[in-house]
Amino acid sequence: MPAAFFSHVQTWVFDLDNTLYPPHMGLFDQIDKRMTAYIMDALGLERAEADRLRHDYWKRYGTTLAGLMREHDMDPEPYMIAVHDIDFSVLSPDPELRARIAALPGRKIVYTNGSAPYAERVLDARGLSGLFAALYGVEHADYRPKPEQQAFATVFARDGLDPKAAAMFEDDTRNLAAPHAMGLRTVHVAPEPEDAPHIHHHTADLAGFLAQLSR
C-alpha cells in the first residue's frame, strides 16, 4: 500500500475505542455492562430488556446515549461519568504504536463518541499521552454522535482541519461514511475487513499500517 495515497494528509484523525487499542483487551466490554446497568436503574428495566434497548439504540442512533437522549430526554453528563467508571488496567502501553503515530507528519487528533476525559485516561494507559494536538469527545459535537455528518462537521470546524487534507482511522464502518463524503482518506481498523465504497483501506494492525506511511 503506497504511502503516496496519504502524501496530501496534514491532519490524522483517530477514533479511540477498538482503534487505538485492540478489541481483545476488552475495555469496551466493561462499558457495555455499565451502560446496561445504567439503563436498568434509570428506566426501571430488567437486564435483558435494558441490554436489548442498549443495542437497539446503538444501531438506530449511532450510540446508546443518542437514543436515550432522544427517546427519554436523558441528561448525558451523569451517564458519561457512570459508564466510563471502569478498570483501565486491562490496557497496556504500546511503544510501537506510539512511535508510528509520532512519526506521522502534521497534526494528530482523537475524535471519540466517548468523552474527552475518558479519552485522556485511555491514552495514558496505552502510553500515547502527549501525541495528539487535540482530543474531541461527543460533548464537542453538542452530544451528536458519529456517524451523523453534523457531528463530524461540528468537530472538524472546531478543530479547523481541512477535510480534503485529512485521514480518518475508525473501527466502526458506519463512522467512515461521512468522512469519506467530506473528502477524508478513510481507514477501517478492525480484525476483519468489510467491503463498502466509503472505505479506502483496511488494516488489522494499526502500527504496521502506519509504518508503511513513514517509509
The domain limits of the chain are 3-21+91-213, 27-83
Angle between helical axes of 76-83 and 27-43 (0-180°, round to 10): 140
Q: How confident is the model at residue 3 (pLDDT cuts 50, 70, 90)?
A: confident
| 214 has a pLDDT exceeding 90 | no
What is the tens place of the pLDDT at every residue in 164-206? 999 999 999 999 999 999 999 999 999 999 989 999 999 999 9
Which pLDDT does position 70 carry in this prediction? 92
Contacts of 81 (CB under 8 A, 6+ apart): none
Contacts of 129 (CB under 8 A, 6+ apart): 120, 123
Q: Evaluate whether 186 touches 9 at the Cβ level (below 8 Å).
A: no
What is the tens place of the pLDDT at every residue in 16-31? 999 999 999 989 899 9
Burial of 201 (0-12, 13-18, 19+ CB in 10 A): middle
For residues 42-59, average pLDDT: 93
What is the tens place of the pLDDT at every residue in 112-161? 999 999 999 999 999 999 999 999 999 999 999 999 999 999 999 999 99
Return the SS3 of 121: helix
| 1 has a pLDDT exceeding 70 | no
CA–CA distance, 100 with 88 (Å, rounded to integer): 23
Model's pTM, two decimal places? 0.93
Mean pLDDT of the chain: 95
Domain 27-83 indexed as CATH 1.10.150.450: yes
Which pLDDT does position 215 carry in this prediction? 56
CATH code for residues 3-21+91-213 = 3.40.50.1000
